[in-house]
Amino acid sequence: MVKPAKRVPIRRRVVTTSIYALSWLLLTLLSPLWVVAALLVGLARGRSFIVLRLLLFAWFYLGLELIALVFVAWTFSMRAGGEPRLRRLYRLQLWWANLTWSVAAKALRLRIVVKGADCSMPGPTILLVRHASILDTLLPSVYVQRPHDYRLRYVLKQELLFDPCIDIVGHALPNYFVDRTGDVERELEGIRALVQNLGTDGVLIFPEGTRFSPKKREKALRELEAEASPLLAAARRLTHVLPPKPAGVLTVFEELPSVDCVFLAHTGLEAFAKIKDLLSGEVVGSTVHVHLWRVNANDIPKEPDERLRWLYAQWEKVNAFVRNPSETS
């Protein structure tokens, strides 16, 4: 995935917005061709017309991005700044995320089963989310933020700056984009600054640091083995998720020792991790299970090593849910 530089934001946004606009324009102009071609491919392959569904969603997504950018520009053109601007940007963020998720779910006929969403309130909370696809970043907005008008501060990967809406709104709101190959201490300092004066907001981080795949899991296990990590045995039990990367998560816990923790596990979106999995068509008509649970701050160990072992134990619960969601949902 392309990793845009954090510096020179104006140049970056001109480039990414131009790419999105040109892509939407080409899809619109060429729609008579690709709609017919995708229909023929669907008839020939018999896989729920997945190519047509994906192309229609891509056209919608790019168009929505351009509309949202107009709303963003209008918001920044207004004289009112401070809290009024933040409220407008949060509403825009939730509108964008909810509409994107709704259209994706309808286009692919997804059935959504959610359990425990109310446990995220009241704030503040530390929200730890499993990462398996390009769509699961929408789940907290749709099922945590929007129903409760709850503000979340996101720790996101720098690669998401390629999306101009996420880039512009993400920087206008309190979030932090992590350079996963950059200076570790500098990135941790950025996370520390993010969680200061949290108030009733929540802070969200993806402990795995990247999307799950069997190859990434094997790589993570090899790294733990090379380090002779005492958590290697626990990591090997995580068959459907990646071992948590401790630095960012432990930094958040260190800065927020009296804040409850909420875990968000999900399964059913794995096909969105790779194009070849999507093109199989198996995702159409599938069920997405989402499960949240809360741990009181008093039940979270304070010593770093014990806290990390506790995190692995909680992540085993995430793993068990992904392996068989019917056990808990």
- Region 41-51 average pLDDT: 84
Place of tokens 């809360």: 294
Mean local confidence (pLDDT), 201-210: 94
pLDDT, tens only, 229-264? 999 999 999 999 999 998 999 999 999 999 999 999
Categorize the per-residue pLDDT at 134 as very low, low, confident or very high, splitting at 50, 70 and 90. confident
DSSP result, 210-221: S---HHHHHHHH
User: What whole-number distance in Å separates Cα of residue 318 and Cα of residue 240?
Assistant: 9
Confidence grade of residue 75 (pLDDT, cut at 50, 70, 90): very high
Residue 329 has pLDDT above 70, yes or no: no
Average pLDDT for the chain:
91
Q: Is it the case that residue 200 has pLDDT exceeding 90? A: yes
Q: How confident is the model at residue 283 (pLDDT cuts 50, 70, 90)?
A: confident
Q: Is 11 helix (H, G, I), strand (E, B) or coil?
A: helix
What are the domain boundaries of the chain? 9-327
Q: How many CA atoms lie within 13 A of 99 on its CB side?
A: 14
Half-sphere exposure in the Cβ direction for 244 (13 Å, CA): 27
> Which of 32-46, 64-78, 271-285 has the highest mean predicted lDDT (pLDDT)?
64-78
Mean pLDDT within 57-64: 96
**pLDDT value of residue 277:** 76
Cα-atom radius of gyration of the chain, to the nearest Å? Answer: 20
| Residue scoring higher pLDDT (47 or 191) | 191
Query: Measured between alpha carbons, how far is 202 from 126 in angstroms, rounded to an integer?
Result: 6
Is the pLDDT at 202 greater than 70, yes or no? yes
pLDDT computed for residue 1 by the predictor: 59
Residue 44: pLDDT band by 50, 70, 90 thresholds?
confident
Are 96 and 88 in contact by the 8 Å Cβ rule? The answer is: no
Q: Which CATH number among 3.40.1130, 3.10.450, 1.20.120, 3.40.50 corresponds to the domain 9-327?
A: 3.40.1130
Instruction: Please name the helix (run of DSSP H) or strand (run of DSSP E) that holds residue 237, with its range, or none.
Output: none
| pLDDT single digits (tens) 180-198 | 888 899 999 999 999 999 9
Distance CA 75, CA 207 (A): 33
- Collapse the DSSP code of 80 into the 3-class scheme (helix H, G, I; strand E, B; otherwise coil) and give the result: coil
Give mean pLDDT, residues 93-118: 93
Sorted by sequence, the CB contacts under 8 Å of residue 4 that are 6+ apart come out as 12, 16, 158, 159, 161, 162, 167
Q: How does residue 270 score in pLDDT terms, banded at 50, 70 and 90?
A: confident
**What is the pLDDT at residue 69?**
96
pLDDT band of 67, cuts 50, 70, 90: very high
In this prediction, residue 80 carries a pLDDT of 75
Q: Please say whether the beta carbons of 211 and 131 come within 8 A.
A: yes
List, as one string, the DSSP characters of 263-288.
EEEEES-GGGG-HHHHHT-TTTT-EE
Residue 5: its pLDDT value, please?
A: 67
pLDDT for 2 equals 64
- Residue 141: is its pLDDT beyond 90? yes
Higher-pLDDT residue of 326, 54: 54
